[in-house]
Amino acid sequence: MLEPLPDILIEPVVRAALAEDLGRAGDITSAATIDADARLTATFASRKAGAIAGLACARIAVLTLDPAASFESIAADGEQRQAGPLAKVSANARALLSAERVALNLLGRLSGVATLTRAYVDAVAGTGAVITDTRKTTPGLRALEKYAVRCGGGVNHRFGLDDAILIKDNHVAAAGGVGAAIRRAKAAAGHLVKIECEVDSLAQLDAALAEAPDVIMLDNFSLADLAAAVARVAGKVTLEASGGVNLETVRAIAETGVDVISVGALTHSAPQLDIGLDAG
């Protein structure tokens, strides 16, 4: 079940975004053209089908500029929705229009991430593989974008450099081999830290397997090699496929039997979901 982020993790992002947009003079268009006490009722509505993420961002954006506004969600984060209304808002007209772009930028981006994730998750349905993200996130938005991946049905890879060990090619080279690298990692890791090692060949897989890390990442393996790896590992460690994953290839990858498939595009190249604010 999907769990919301605490508002305390969203508020600083929203406040900074509002400050960035309001600049040094505020919304001079609304100030010039709309009466100070005018009210506006409007609907956040998606123009296309997609998975929703970030309604709290929209709510916090509006309420930050008009604490007396009402915001009623129609959809919920994590839902796959057809085009249509997501939330109804009633607020001071200037405040609502001043908050609109920040609300939509966050809601559209996060829903875009969720929607792309959902497409990958649906593509592997029934295979047993799960879809995971990477650290290829927008600077400053990692917590939010990783949450959006969860909204799309994905699971999260590590959140930063500090919460799991992921040994990549440069670490292997520096440590003098896959085996040595994993051994150094095991010696250094606390008891609540998992260790993953990237390998780029079946030979490296064997070397890694001998040291029993928690997860092995199969980087840019062919489908045949993925299947061979799955057979060879036989469930002893979690296998993650990485590289060359797209919506055309992902199902075949999943069907090799790997446990996890990581997709950088979920956060670095998801187009925004087209969401607008309609008056009335």
Q: 98-125 burial, b if ≥16 CB within 10 A, otherwise e?
A: bbbebbbbbbbbbbbbbbbbbbbbbbbe
Distance in angstroms (rounded) separating the CA atoms of residues 25 and 17: 15
Residue 206 within binding range of a copy of itself, rule CB under 8 A:
no
Sheet holding 70-73, edge to edge: 70-73, 84-92, 39-46, 275-279
Instruction: Give me the phi and psi of 278, to 5 degrees please.
Output: -105, 125
Pick from 103, 119, 93: nearest CA to 55: 103
168 a catalytic residue: yes
Residue 194 within binding range of a copy of itself, rule CB under 8 A:
yes
Distance in angstroms (rounded) separating the CA atoms of residues 253 and 219: 12
Per-residue contact track with a copy of itself, 211 to 240, x per CB under 8 A? Answer: ---xx----------------------x-x
Residue 258 CB, shortest distance to a copy of itself, in Å, is: 11
Residue 109 within binding range of a copy of itself, rule CB under 8 A:
yes
CB 14 within 8 A of CB 64: yes
Question: Which one from 39, 88, 136, 142 is the annotated catalytic residue?
Answer: 136
Question: Which one from 101, 184, 186, 194 is the annotated catalytic residue?
Answer: 101
Q: Which is closer to a copy of itself, CB of 123 or CB of 181?
A: 181
Distance in angstroms (rounded) separating the CA atoms of residues 143 and 156: 10
Residue 181 CB, shortest distance to a copy of itself, in Å, is: 5
Question: Which one from 196, 198, 240, 259 is the annotated catalytic residue?
Answer: 198
Per-residue contact track with a copy of itself, 118 to 147, x per CB under 8 A? Answer: ------------x-x--xxxxxxxxx--xx
Q: Pick from 37, 82, 190, 248 the residue near a copy of itself by CB under 8 A.
A: 190
Question: Which one from 168, 184, 232, 251 is the annotated catalytic residue?
Answer: 168
